[in-house]
Amino acid sequence: MAEMTPREEDNAAPFDCSHALRLSAADWILVAVLLLVLTGFAPIAWQWFEKFEPGPDYRMPYQLSSDYWLYGRYCRKLCGRTKVLVVGDSVVWGHYVPPDETLTHYLNEFSGQERFANLGLDGTHPAALEGLLRYYGPSLCRQTVLLHFNPLWLSSSKHDLQTDKEFHFNHPDLVSQFAVRIPCYKAPFARRVRIALLRTIPFSNWINHLRATYYESTDVQSWTLRHPYRCALAALTRGLPEPGGIPEPSGGTWVEKGAKKQNLAWVELDTSLQWLFFRRAIDLLRRQGNDVFVLVGPFNEHMLDDSDAAAYNAIKAQVAHWLAKNEIPHLVPPPLPAELYVDASHPIGAGYALWARGILRQPAFAPLAK
């Protein structure tokens, strides 16, 4: 068969491939509508499929500490009940104790009613906690919130995120990307924009939830390469993991490990970034109509030398003064016995029990005590 000249090719009819699919303008509109419905409805529909019935000692599973979609779902479920929401970092979460030895467990036990719920999330320093509440806890409205302030985050410029040298800290996707400058946070502009956009899109957060919960924090393609003989869809039927705890570190409590004092370099409260973000978190919760009660520490003061203790006591006094000035109920308890600390801020179960009794003696919670 003779080949066509270039002029004949130009005049020839368009090539009609048997597997070609051409969409009209109406078809494209229909596809766009279907995609919008899918992205908007899929996260809602998934909640009907995925069983989530948190009990009185429930806390976010440790391996899902970055699953902010599940945290938001937990917030919404709790706000449909009459609960006191205990919010904070790993101290509230109960890093070295099982779920039945956390602060919220003992608050429920000593009050004789299941009124307290654990909304702690491991590693949420105040800069991250403020973002967590802002973007994933907007349903926390008209509740009673027991908010924990951990002075550990003021114990050095690095903990306070003030160092100019870049280092990787917990939950960078939660911190302020543009509004407040964090010197040690050096993420590129494009990444910051991506984070700022994606954390406001429920579908994107839901996809991250599926990856973290069912696909070992990877995408489906990578997961199937790791598990070539397993069905990717079958993985979705496993259900949520149990909220277990982190084993107590070898060596036991702080005293059993040698009880060594440390030299800390406390930052000034007036210039502290973490204190700024903690105040922003309080303001956010109060603007949403919540009654906020603040628990300060207690830090393991036994590990401080005389100069560090003086600096820490000054910070405690300033924090208490600010809370009183702003009419925020609070408790600044004395340190626990030295043998009840695992490290600078985490107690063992008996320490949480002492905290719970002290909290329930406060006027804000006295009606809940036995």
DSSP string, 191-258: HHHHHHHHTT-HHHHHHHHHHHHHSTTS-HHHHHHH-TTS-TTGGGGS-PPP---PPPPTT-STTTTT
Which pLDDT score, from 0 to 100, does residue 80 have?
74
Q: How far is CA 209 from CA 47, 189, 206, in A?
A: 12, 25, 5
Which of the residues in the chain have pLDDT under 70?
1-21, 27, 37, 244-251, 369-370
Tell me the whole-structure pTM to 2 decimals: 0.89
How is residue 131 annotated by DSSP?
H
Instruction: For residues 180 and 298, give the distance between their C-alpha atoms in angstroms, rounded to a whole number.
Output: 28
3-state secondary structure of 360: helix
Which pLDDT score, from 0 to 100, does residue 22 have?
77
Residues 6+ apart with CB under 8 A from 255: 338, 339, 341
Q: Which two structure tokens, joined as six digits, stand for 259? A: 């009880």
Which pLDDT score, from 0 to 100, does residue 347 have?
94
Q: Which two structure tokens, joined as six digits, stand for 351? A: 């320490």
Query: Nearest Cα to 59, choosing from 110, 96, 98, 109?
Result: 98
Which pLDDT score, from 0 to 100, does residue 254 have?
85
| Domain residue ranges of the chain, discontinuous segments joined by + | 51-368
Instruction: For residues 219 and 38, give the distance between their C-alpha atoms in angstroms, rounded to a whole number.
Output: 19
Instruction: Considering the domain delimited by 51-368, tell me its CATH architecture.
Output: 3-Layer(aba) Sandwich (3.40)
